[in-house]
Chains A and B, each alone.
Chain A
């Protein structure tokens, strides 16, 4: 169990809407506190229903689970947004009366927790009394201050009643294409505060008698750029919620309300036990220490932000110690994280803890039985003031994923160490890529309508290498287990951007005995748009996806954009065009197919804000690869040869990394000479020995660099930010490098603005607000 304080029940003057006669808050407090005291959800030391009538128990689960999955599959056909309809960026979840998840559909299951937090917030802030909770009501939420991941995930929550009493809640969420933020696109990054992050809805009652309210619809549709998509997304959510409500009513008619309510607690305790069993089955007790970093290069001229104090280069720091305990529960401690920032990559505890299950269901708990029971078998420590748990209500969150996925990739790498040691090699994943680039923009589209785009091609990046096979090419995203790059033809309908090529991106997967999965690249030409802007969003100066056990990290990103290309003229004249691969960015070829005077940007600046793109301009959407596993010199000759023939490995790097000696025939087929390659690899081992330095020797030099404060400002700022928030991290740092007890680096001495470091104001300081805390802070 977590260690937040016990919660108290609150009061209401209305007649109870629960069968047990309690207020919603008292009901939740009793369940929560009993769970905390006993270590079993709702105090259920025994699963009486499951034990006495297992068939009924399983039947209820199967019907509900099938119901939420079916609702998702059916409802998504209502949506017009390719993000929902093509990529499946939606999810439906059933909750018990306390707002704890009973079962969830497939899809973006991070929202198991986010919608649950929305319900808990309504419970704790007495929505029961005002604005009241009645049959046929709908509540809408996208507020990141109470748990949403980013504002573009819009949740519609419907209470489910039986005989006038609340028996459950159902929530549906879709990732909308635009939220009316300062910049177009669902995950834009020009804004630096909540106030530019788009429309913000706080558990608002938006429907009665099963119909959305007119004032709500009139207001919200004009607050976003893409009202058509917005309306259909809302209908998707409502339809799915109501389908699930029907299923619940059928189950109650079948087994009775008492059994149903009993089930909605027992299944959560069952989920808790399921995680404990799985940890015991697959991991090794002990401590797993890991870390991730992400670059935030805001000093660049192509990053335009409204506030001067945001114009700084910073680095996200996410250290984590996972402790697997003897009783097979675990604790994830993020002590030492850097401070939240003036950008849109901040997270919050619910996004963090709930999101982890998106990743964990792909590895530790690959089961349909995921529910809030897992949370009750886990402890999270997310220090207040860090990017994982901001202590200021102004923070922006539009692209919270940018930081979240990087920190989770490191967690996947960490638990994979346990899998490897235990012999479950098939489960090892060096850690997936940070799925990016996020190609976004907006203006007038080909239908002459105000429009915004956010390409979800990034849902199909390379996966990390396994301990017994290569990672999958252009296959998945850590945030959606059902990743799909989508069809070119559909994207061309949704975006005024023609495909000039779509190809596997060579050399993007990290090298290793088993290499990471390759990413891919699409070259898009702006076409039939007006007043059009686009921007880039991803990693470029750093890579958050390390390799495992000697494998290399995947390649970092880079940016290619071209303006004043003359492509329309070249097309008319039948001249060559830039198409397909950007094979090796160090030997660029696209430029050979542009007219003189073209303006090209090729660099590591992978975060930009809105830039004007005219028709005929080019944008390279490069989707990243996954990291590698094991020493590259252990890679089989056959696999090296295959990589060359599959064109996923550039010749130059086959030689540099694998020592490959090969020939290429007239038809371009490669043959690797095994003996010559092994001989070269033997030389490469000797070269390693001659260039290597004993670590303890090297540490003396690095220690001196620290004493001399020899590092870039952004690196020092990252440490200064973590030191200020974490004495334990500072102590460990000083101890490791044997530094004087008073050694320190501070943001003040670096001369960079540190707004928010000393002065901040949390949501909990707002009047009449009761925040819900489920983690250690």
Chain B
């Protein structure tokens, strides 16, 4: 058994304005298998570019199929972070909070990490300055490639045609 929702409800979920009763139903009922398609549809309608959304990665970041059939990481603003198989962060701007003064811009001094132990790494889009991610590792830590989706397999799971540019 599953529950179905309207595209309008999915759009409201994305906007954070969906009524709580429906959100609760979404939480405790079996998942609606059409959600992904509706989600993509809503996001696609809102996109400022023509590229086809393959998989949303973050509120302003997507894996898309561009007009050449290449699959890339792309920001809402249009900035391309490189092929989808690569870590988009490597093509971002970074700002490292690694001192008392820099941490104090975010939290009171006693509620911030000690830079001898931990740093915050903020990753911005080089064009629109969206903060796509914040890491909180120790110094020296390699940039984390958070998610490497198996898109080909996922598209099979949800019964969609695998984009050509996706490696099998």
B160 in the interface, Cβ–Cβ < 8 Å?
A: no
Interface residues of B in 74-112 (CB under 8 A from A): 89-96, 104-112
Contact status A653-B107, CB under 8 Å? yes
Interface residues of B in 100-133 (CB under 8 A from A): 104-114, 116-118, 120, 122-124, 126, 128-133
Given A326-B153, A584-B108, A715-B140, do A423 and B10 touch, yes or no (CB 8 Å)?
yes
> Which of B114, B144, B157 contacts A289 (CB under 8 A)?
B144
Please name the residue on chain B nearest to A559 by beta carbon.
Answer: B110
A282 in the interface, Cβ–Cβ < 8 Å?
A: yes
- List, in ascending order, chain B residues with CB within 8 A of A295's CB: 117-118
- List, in ascending order, chain B residues with CB within 8 A of A696's CB: 90-91
Contact status A421-B147, CB under 8 Å? yes
- List, in ascending order, chain A residues with CB within 8 A of B33's CB: 281
| A295 vs B39: C-alpha distance when bound (angstroms) | 40
**Partner-contacting stretch, out of A265-273, A522-530, A539-547:** A539-547
Please name the residue on chain A nearest to B34 by beta carbon.
Answer: A423
A288 in the interface, Cβ–Cβ < 8 Å?
A: yes
> Which of A543, A546, A547, A693 contacts B93 (CB under 8 A)?
A693
Count A interface residues, CB 8 Å. Answer: 92
- List, in ascending order, chain A residues with CB within 8 A of B26's CB: 424, 426
Contact status A550-B126, CB under 8 Å? no
- List, in ascending order, chain B residues with CB within 8 A of A736's CB: 142-143
Would you give the 0/1 interface string for A698-718, flagging 1 where the beta carbon is closer than 8 Å to chain B? Answer: 110010011000011011001
A381 in the interface, Cβ–Cβ < 8 Å?
A: no
Interface residues of A in 253-301 (CB under 8 A from B): 280-282, 284-291, 293, 295
Interface of B is mostly: mixed
**Partner-contacting stretch, out of A133-141, A683-691, A757-765:** A683-691
- Give min CB distance, A425 to chain B, whole Å: 5
B64 in the interface, Cβ–Cβ < 8 Å?
A: no
Contact status A281-B31, CB under 8 Å? yes
Would you give the 0/1 interface string for A737-765, flagging 1 where the beta carbon is closer than 8 Å to chain B? Answer: 10000000000000000000000000000
Contact status A688-B124, CB under 8 Å? yes
Contact status A714-B146, CB under 8 Å? no
A514 in the interface, Cβ–Cβ < 8 Å?
A: yes
Contact status B150-A546, CB under 8 Å? no
Interface residues of A in 569-609 (CB under 8 A from B): 584-586, 602-604
- List, in ascending order, chain B residues with CB within 8 A of A514's CB: 16
Contact status B58-A714, CB under 8 Å? no
- Give min CB distance, B10 to chain A, whole Å: 7
- List, in ascending order, chain A residues with CB within 8 A of B123's CB: 695
> Which of B14, B55, B129 contacts A685 (CB under 8 A)?
B129
| A162 vs B149: C-alpha distance when bound (angstroms) | 51
- Give min CB distance, B4 to chain A, whole Å: 13
- Give min CB distance, B128 to chain A, whole Å: 7
> Which of B38, B110, B135, B150 contacts A586 (CB under 8 A)?
B110
- List, in ascending order, chain B residues with CB within 8 A of A555's CB: 107-108, 111-112
| A547 vs B106: C-alpha distance when bound (angstroms) | 13
B: interface residue count bin = 35 or more
> Which of B14, B55, B131, B145 contacts A550 (CB under 8 A)?
B131
Please name the residue on chain A nearest to B25 by beta carbon.
Answer: A426
Please name the residue on chain B nearest to A470 by beta carbon.
Answer: B16
| A656 vs B110: C-alpha distance when bound (angstroms) | 17
Contact status A549-B59, CB under 8 Å? yes
- List, in ascending order, chain B residues with CB within 8 A of A698's CB: 94, 96
| A688 vs B95: C-alpha distance when bound (angstroms) | 8
- Give min CB distance, A678 to chain B, whole Å: 14
Given A286-B149, A542-B113, do A552 and B134 touch, yes or no (CB 8 Å)?
yes
Contact status A289-B150, CB under 8 Å? no
> Which of A550, A551, A558 contacts B110 (CB under 8 A)?
A558
Please name the residue on chain B nearest to A422 by beta carbon.
Answer: B36
Please name the residue on chain B nearest to A688 by beta carbon.
Answer: B129
> Which of B111, B120, B139 contacts A558 (CB under 8 A)?
B111
- List, in ascending order, chain A residues with CB within 8 A of B59's CB: 467, 513, 549-550, 630-631, 634
Contact status B134-A547, CB under 8 Å? yes
> Which of A326, A425, A686, A719 contacts B13 (CB under 8 A)?
A425
| A289 vs B110: C-alpha distance when bound (angstroms) | 30
- Give min CB distance, B14 to chain A, whole Å: 7
Would you give the 0/1 interface string for A649-679, flagging 1 where the beta carbon is closer than 8 Å to chain B? Answer: 0100100110000000000000000000000
Contact status B146-A737, CB under 8 Å? no
> Which of B31, B95, B113, B126 contacts A541 (CB under 8 A)?
B113
B56 in the interface, Cβ–Cβ < 8 Å?
A: yes
A228 in the interface, Cβ–Cβ < 8 Å?
A: no
- List, in ascending order, chain A residues with CB within 8 A of B134's CB: 546-547, 550-553
- List, in ascending order, chain A residues with CB within 8 A of B16's CB: 468-469, 514
- Give min CB distance, A503 to chain B, whole Å: 15
A767 in the interface, Cβ–Cβ < 8 Å?
A: no
Contact status B90-A695, CB under 8 Å? yes
Given A541-B118, A737-B142, do A417 and B133 touch, yes or no (CB 8 Å)?
no
- List, in ascending order, chain B residues with CB within 8 A of A421's CB: 55-57, 147, 149
- Give min CB distance, B32 to chain A, whole Å: 9
- List, in ascending order, chain B residues with CB within 8 A of A85's CB: none
| A542 vs B120: C-alpha distance when bound (angstroms) | 10
A119 in the interface, Cβ–Cβ < 8 Å?
A: no
Contact status A282-B153, CB under 8 Å? no
| A507 vs B118: C-alpha distance when bound (angstroms) | 19
Contact status A556-B113, CB under 8 Å? yes
Contact status A550-B132, CB under 8 Å? yes
- List, in ascending order, chain A residues with CB within 8 A of B148's CB: 286-289
Please name 14 pairs of A and B residues whose Cβ atoms are closer than 8 Å in the assembled complex, sorted by A.
A285-B157, A421-B149, A422-B35, A426-B13, A427-B27, A541-B114, A543-B113, A550-B58, A552-B120, A555-B108, A585-B111, A695-B143, A712-B139, A736-B143
List 7 A-B pairs, minimum CB-CB distance, nearest first: A692-B93, A423-B39, A555-B111, A685-B129, A736-B142, A585-B110, A286-B149
Other than the known A289-B147, A295-B117, A542-B117, what 9 A-B pairs have Cβ atoms closer than 8 Å? A295-B118, A421-B147, A426-B23, A468-B23, A469-B16, A653-B106, A688-B124, A693-B95, A702-B140
